[in-house]
């Protein structure tokens, strides 16, 4: 059985909320021992075979691999933007060991046959675990629910129409009721589509000065209120993909206080950027929902710290040059993030906004728990999906060196602190810096 012993590591344990120096032993793809005391570390060494590997972490951080919910891959239909091969390489380089992929492909992933194709492609091409989500309604047009039971049997881990909000509440309530009967997770995009249609910025003085069509943050609050009401009616497991403004937080807090099975996520971009970044009309900063105010950004960081927001995702959305080199209003929204997410979010730890265990609780532990996975933890028996990183190493992001096919990152040229040194999936090393 393959064995690997990690020595001199800062063990970042989101479940135990600890950051301690120690050692970790992996046998046959699983964590079998964790030690902090010298005597315990020696015991781990004694348990190793002659053929075992030893990794001296040099005091750098060893944490559970990131579970990234909401990754867009261009297969089928847009392989020129991103393939499972390139997405897997980018994920490994970013410390992401599990990609949970979106169904907004061409055609959408709304049938067991399409889902089976995706699973086979991912298994053959990607270096990391790939868990597909499926569409909630056929064609993602909001008129008829998909065959949720058959899609679950085919491997779908959640159901969502992505940014295509289901406007027919009767269709949505029926889909939620059926999903509840099967124990399926429904992921919603809280937004009132009427108010937000055509908007590329958040309403306010800044958007007016820039002449950009804008939407009030209340559109998100209204969408979330509707979804929570349907959750109350149906009892379904529900996850809000992106909470991006302070106005939505009280509704989320009430839903959790009422005992509803509700969790929420936010994006790396909304935690680290704000609406002022749109000043030069750079389309790499155009994302959905649009970037918010600095007050909203700070409120989101506090919500992650308190646990009100459960999950952080990259919302990796590759777009080719032709889609982005257009006037701001016409450019396609979205940014790549698999490879840049960890160094970007380490800004928050360096600013003392989030501790490393708190950050990895939102990046690894909580998404794994929401999907019923046993990864995302540093615990005996857990899968050895691990990331080794130096939180203090200076890096300059160069978009042309990213492993993604598309290079649309808003952080091109950004000076950051934090570099992934190695990534392991089921105990096998898939990336080395």
Calculate the average pLDDT of the chain. Answer: 96
pLDDT one-digit tens code per residue, 370-406: 999 999 999 999 999 999 999 999 999 999 999 999 9
Whether 46 has a pLDDT exceeding 90, the answer reads no
Distance CA 270, CA 287 (A): 9
What is the residue extent of each domain of the chain?
Answer: 3-62+384-398+411-432, 65-370
pLDDT of amino acid 52: 80
- Give helix 84-93 / helix 112-125 axis angle, nearest 10°: 50
Whether 1 has a pLDDT exceeding 90, the answer reads no
pLDDT of amino acid 37: 79
Residues 6+ apart with CB under 8 A from 383: 29, 30, 31, 374, 375, 426
- Give the mean pLDDT of 14-34: 95
pLDDT one-digit tens code per residue, 138-153: 999 999 999 999 999 9
DSSP letter, residue 351: T
Angle at 365 between CA 364 and CA 370, to 5 degrees: 105
- Give the mean pLDDT of 91-98: 98
Strand partners, 34: 24
- Give helix 249-257 / helix 218-234 axis angle, nearest 10°: 20
pLDDT one-digit tens code per residue, 63-85: 999 999 999 999 999 999 999 99
pLDDT of amino acid 222: 97
pLDDT of amino acid 213: 94
Whether 39 has a pLDDT exceeding 90, the answer reads no
Bond from prior residue into 289 cis (ω within 30 degrees of 0): yes
Structure tokens, 65: 């691999």
Whether 43 has a pLDDT exceeding 90, the answer reads no
Q: What percent of the chain has pLDDT over 90?
A: 94
Whether 42 has a pLDDT exceeding 90, the answer reads no
Equal fold, 3-62+384-398+411-432 vs 65-370: no
Whether 50 has a pLDDT exceeding 90, the answer reads no
Write the CATH number of the domain with boundaries 3-62+384-398+411-432. 2.30.40.10
Please report which confidence band the pLDDT of residue 44 belongs to, taking 50, 70 and 90 as the band edges.
confident
- Give helix 218-234 / helix 169-182 axis angle, nearest 10°: 50
Least confident interval from 5-19, 34-48, 55-69: 34-48
- Give the mean pLDDT of 275-280: 92
pLDDT of amino acid 171: 98
- Give the mean pLDDT of 175-200: 97
Q: What percent of the chain has pLDDT over 70?
A: 100
Whether 423 has a pLDDT exceeding 80, the answer reads yes
Whether 178 has a pLDDT exceeding 80, the answer reads yes
65-370 falls under which CATH superfamily?
Metal-dependent hydrolases (3.20.20.140)
Strand partners, 61: 10, 389
In the Cβ-directed half-sphere of 433, how many Cα atoms lie within 13 Å?
16
pLDDT one-digit tens code per residue, 316-375: 999 999 999 999 999 999 999 999 999 999 999 999 999 999 999 999 999 999 999 999
More confident residue, 217 or 44: 217
pLDDT of amino acid 365: 98
């Amino acid at each position: 059985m393959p064995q690997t012993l990690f020595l001199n590591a800062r063990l970042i344990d989101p479940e135990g909320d600890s950051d301690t120096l120690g050692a970790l032993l992996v046998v046959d793809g699983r964590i079998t021992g964790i030690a902090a005391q010298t005597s315990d570390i020696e015991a781990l060494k004694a348990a190793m075979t002659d053929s075992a590997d030893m990794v001296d972490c040099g005091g750098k951080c060893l944490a559970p691999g990131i579970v990234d919910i909401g990754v867009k891959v261009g297969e089928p239909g847009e392989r020129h933007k991103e393939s499972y091969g390139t997405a897997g390489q980018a994920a490994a380089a970013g410390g992401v060991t599990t990609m949970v992929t979106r169904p907004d492909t061409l055609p959408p992933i709304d049938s067991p046959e399409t889902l089976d194709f995706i699973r086979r492609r991912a298994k053959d091409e990607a270096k990391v675990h790939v868990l597909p989500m499926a569409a909630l309604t056929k064609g993602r047009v909001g008129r008829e629910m998909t065959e949720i039971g058959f899609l679950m049997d085919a491997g779908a881990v959640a159901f969502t129409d992505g940014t295509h909000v289901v406007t027919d509440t009767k269709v949505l309530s029926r889909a939620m009721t059926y999903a509840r009967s099967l124990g399926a997770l429904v992921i919603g995009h809280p937004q009132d589509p009427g108010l937000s249609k055509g908007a590329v910025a958040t309403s306010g003085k800044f958007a007016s000065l820039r002449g950009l069509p804008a939407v009030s943050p209340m559109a998100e609050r209204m969408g979330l209120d509707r979804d929570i009401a349907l959750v109350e009616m149906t009892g379904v497991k529900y996850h809000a993909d992106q909470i991006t403004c302070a106005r939505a937080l009280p509704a989320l807090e009430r839903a959790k206080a009422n005992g509803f099975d509700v969790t929420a996520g936010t994006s790396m971009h909304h935690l680290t950027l704000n609406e002022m970044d749109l000043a030069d009309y750079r389309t790499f900063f155009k994302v959905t929902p649009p970037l918010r105010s600095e007050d909203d950004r700070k409120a989101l960081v506090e919500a992650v710290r308190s646990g009100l927001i459960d999950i952080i995702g990259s919302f990796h959305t590759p777009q080719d040059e032709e889609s982005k080199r257009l006037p701001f209003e016409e450019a396609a929204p979205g940014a790549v993030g698999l490879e840049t997410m960890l160094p970007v979010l380490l800004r928050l730890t360096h600013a003392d906004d989030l501790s490393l265990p708190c950050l990895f609780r939102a990046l690894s532990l909580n998404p794994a728990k929401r999907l019923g996975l046993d990864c995302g933890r540093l615990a005996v028996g857990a899968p050895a999906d691990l990331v080794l990183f130096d939180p203090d190493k200076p890096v300059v992001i160069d978009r042309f060196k990213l492993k993604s096919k598309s290079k649309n990152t808003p952080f091109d040229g950004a000076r950051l602190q934090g570099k992934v040194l190695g990534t392991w999936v089921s105990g096998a090393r898939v990336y080395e810096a």
